[in-house]
Amino acid sequence: MTLDDLGPRLCIIGPSNSGKSTLAVAIARGRGLPAVHLDQLHHRPNTDWVPRSDAEFFALHDDAIRGPRWVMDGNYSRCLPQRLARATGVIRLETPMTTSLLRYLRRSWFERARHGALDGGSDSVTWAIRHIVVTTPANHRRYATVFDQIMLPKLTLSTRELAHFYRAEGLER
Protein backbone atom coordinates (compact mmCIF):
# COMPACT_ATOMS: atom_id res chain seq x y z
CA MET A 1 0.00 0.00 0.00
CA THR A 2 1.25 3.47 -0.91
CA LEU A 3 0.32 6.98 0.17
CA ASP A 4 -1.64 7.39 -3.04
CA ASP A 5 -3.82 4.42 -2.01
CA LEU A 6 -4.69 6.18 1.26
CA GLY A 7 -6.25 9.26 -0.33
CA PRO A 8 -6.22 12.97 0.58
CA ARG A 9 -7.49 12.79 4.20
CA LEU A 10 -5.17 10.73 6.37
CA CYS A 11 -5.30 9.86 10.05
CA ILE A 12 -2.07 8.82 11.76
CA ILE A 13 -2.53 7.02 15.06
CA GLY A 14 -0.13 5.29 17.40
CA PRO A 15 1.50 5.41 20.81
CA SER A 16 3.13 8.50 22.28
CA ASN A 17 6.44 9.32 20.63
CA SER A 18 5.99 6.88 17.77
CA GLY A 19 6.66 9.56 15.15
CA LYS A 20 3.09 10.56 14.28
CA SER A 21 3.75 14.30 14.05
CA THR A 22 7.01 13.88 12.16
CA LEU A 23 5.31 11.59 9.64
CA ALA A 24 2.36 13.98 9.30
CA VAL A 25 4.67 16.88 8.46
CA ALA A 26 6.66 14.76 5.99
CA ILE A 27 3.47 13.65 4.23
CA ALA A 28 2.12 17.21 4.28
CA ARG A 29 5.26 18.50 2.58
CA GLY A 30 5.49 15.61 0.14
CA ARG A 31 1.83 15.62 -0.89
CA GLY A 32 0.83 19.25 -0.41
CA LEU A 33 -1.61 18.52 2.41
CA PRO A 34 -2.18 20.64 5.50
CA ALA A 35 -0.81 18.95 8.65
CA VAL A 36 -3.11 19.02 11.66
CA HIS A 37 -1.66 18.10 15.06
CA LEU A 38 -4.43 17.13 17.46
CA ASP A 39 -2.25 17.90 20.49
CA GLN A 40 -2.17 21.53 19.34
CA LEU A 41 -5.95 21.61 18.96
CA HIS A 42 -6.54 19.91 22.32
CA HIS A 43 -4.19 22.08 24.41
CA ARG A 44 -4.05 25.82 24.88
CA PRO A 45 -0.94 27.43 23.38
CA ASN A 46 1.55 29.14 25.67
CA THR A 47 0.62 26.88 28.58
CA ASP A 48 2.21 23.78 30.01
CA TRP A 49 -0.19 21.46 28.15
CA VAL A 50 -3.41 22.84 29.68
CA PRO A 51 -6.33 21.29 27.80
CA ARG A 52 -9.08 23.31 26.17
CA SER A 53 -12.68 22.62 27.14
CA ASP A 54 -14.21 19.64 25.38
CA ALA A 55 -16.57 21.92 23.48
CA GLU A 56 -13.71 24.10 22.22
CA PHE A 57 -11.56 21.10 21.25
CA PHE A 58 -14.42 19.33 19.46
CA ALA A 59 -15.26 22.51 17.53
CA LEU A 60 -11.62 22.90 16.40
CA HIS A 61 -11.41 19.19 15.54
CA ASP A 62 -14.66 19.16 13.58
CA ASP A 63 -13.67 22.30 11.70
CA ALA A 64 -10.34 20.70 10.73
CA ILE A 65 -11.89 17.46 9.45
CA ARG A 66 -14.33 19.37 7.23
CA GLY A 67 -11.41 20.32 5.00
CA PRO A 68 -11.08 18.54 1.66
CA ARG A 69 -7.46 17.50 2.23
CA TRP A 70 -5.42 16.94 5.40
CA VAL A 71 -3.08 14.66 7.29
CA MET A 72 -3.96 14.54 10.98
CA ASP A 73 -1.88 13.03 13.75
CA GLY A 74 -3.10 12.01 17.17
CA ASN A 75 -5.40 9.54 18.81
CA TYR A 76 -8.09 11.29 20.92
CA SER A 77 -10.59 8.44 20.85
CA ARG A 78 -13.47 10.69 21.91
CA CYS A 79 -13.57 12.19 18.43
CA LEU A 80 -12.09 9.34 16.41
CA PRO A 81 -15.45 8.19 14.96
CA GLN A 82 -16.17 11.51 13.24
CA ARG A 83 -12.54 11.74 12.08
CA LEU A 84 -12.71 8.26 10.55
CA ALA A 85 -16.04 9.13 8.89
CA ARG A 86 -14.19 11.86 6.92
CA ALA A 87 -10.84 10.11 6.48
CA THR A 88 -9.84 8.33 3.29
CA GLY A 89 -7.01 6.33 4.88
CA VAL A 90 -5.32 5.50 8.18
CA ILE A 91 -1.73 4.83 9.16
CA ARG A 92 -1.02 3.16 12.50
CA LEU A 93 2.50 3.36 13.89
CA GLU A 94 3.81 0.49 16.02
CA THR A 95 6.58 1.48 18.39
CA PRO A 96 7.94 -0.47 21.36
CA MET A 97 7.49 1.20 24.74
CA THR A 98 11.24 1.47 25.29
CA THR A 99 11.65 3.31 21.98
CA SER A 100 8.81 5.69 22.86
CA LEU A 101 10.32 6.41 26.24
CA LEU A 102 13.81 7.04 24.85
CA ARG A 103 12.39 9.34 22.17
CA TYR A 104 10.49 11.31 24.78
CA LEU A 105 13.56 11.75 26.94
CA ARG A 106 15.56 12.88 23.90
CA ARG A 107 12.94 15.39 22.83
CA SER A 108 12.45 16.70 26.38
CA TRP A 109 16.14 17.24 27.03
CA PHE A 110 17.61 18.04 23.61
CA GLU A 111 14.97 19.04 21.06
CA ARG A 112 13.44 22.42 21.68
CA ALA A 113 11.77 22.69 18.27
CA ARG A 114 9.90 19.63 17.05
CA HIS A 115 6.93 18.82 14.85
CA GLY A 116 3.62 18.94 16.68
CA ALA A 117 5.00 20.77 19.71
CA LEU A 118 2.73 23.08 21.64
CA ASP A 119 3.63 26.74 21.17
CA GLY A 120 5.09 27.93 24.45
CA GLY A 121 4.75 24.52 26.14
CA SER A 122 7.44 22.33 27.63
CA ASP A 123 7.63 18.56 27.93
CA SER A 124 7.63 16.98 31.39
CA VAL A 125 9.80 13.92 31.94
CA THR A 126 7.72 12.88 34.99
CA TRP A 127 4.54 12.94 32.95
CA ALA A 128 6.15 10.95 30.13
CA ILE A 129 7.32 8.11 32.30
CA ARG A 130 3.88 7.72 33.88
CA HIS A 131 2.01 8.13 30.60
CA ILE A 132 4.23 5.93 28.43
CA VAL A 133 4.76 3.16 30.98
CA VAL A 134 1.30 3.07 32.59
CA THR A 135 -1.24 4.47 30.12
CA THR A 136 0.22 3.66 26.72
CA PRO A 137 0.14 -0.18 26.91
CA ALA A 138 -3.65 -0.24 27.43
CA ASN A 139 -4.14 2.42 24.75
CA HIS A 140 -1.90 0.42 22.41
CA ARG A 141 -4.13 -2.65 22.73
CA ARG A 142 -7.31 -0.60 22.36
CA TYR A 143 -6.08 1.16 19.23
CA ALA A 144 -4.97 -2.14 17.69
CA THR A 145 -8.53 -3.43 18.14
CA VAL A 146 -10.06 -0.24 16.74
CA PHE A 147 -7.63 -0.29 13.80
CA ASP A 148 -8.57 -3.87 12.93
CA GLN A 149 -12.21 -2.77 12.62
CA ILE A 150 -11.54 0.22 10.33
CA MET A 151 -12.86 -0.41 6.83
CA LEU A 152 -10.77 2.31 5.13
CA PRO A 153 -7.50 1.73 3.28
CA LYS A 154 -4.98 1.34 6.07
CA LEU A 155 -1.37 0.63 6.78
CA THR A 156 0.53 -0.44 9.90
CA LEU A 157 4.20 0.52 10.12
CA SER A 158 6.71 -0.73 12.68
CA THR A 159 9.70 1.43 13.54
CA ARG A 160 11.81 -0.46 10.98
CA GLU A 161 9.08 -0.33 8.31
CA LEU A 162 8.62 3.39 8.88
CA ALA A 163 12.18 4.13 7.76
CA HIS A 164 11.58 2.12 4.57
CA PHE A 165 8.24 3.92 4.04
CA TYR A 166 9.95 7.32 4.15
CA ARG A 167 12.41 6.21 1.47
CA ALA A 168 9.84 4.42 -0.72
CA GLU A 169 7.49 7.42 -0.69
CA GLY A 170 10.26 9.99 -1.18
CA LEU A 171 9.48 11.69 2.13
CA GLU A 172 11.94 13.74 4.16
CA ARG A 173 11.82 13.94 7.95
The domain spans of the chain are: 8-169
Considering the entire predicted model, what is its pTM? 0.83
**Fold of domain 8-169:** Rossmann fold (3.40.50)
50 vs 97, residue with greater confidence: 50
**Cβ atoms within 10 A of the Cβ of 109, count?**
10
Residues 99-145 have pLDDT tens digits of 666 666 666 656 666 555 556 555 555 666 666 666 666 777 777 88
For residue 10, what are the contacts with CB-CB under 8 A and spacing of at least 6?
3, 24, 27, 33, 70, 71, 72, 87, 88, 89, 90, 91
Q: Which residues pair with 11 in a beta bridge?
A: 72, 90
pLDDT of residue 19: 86
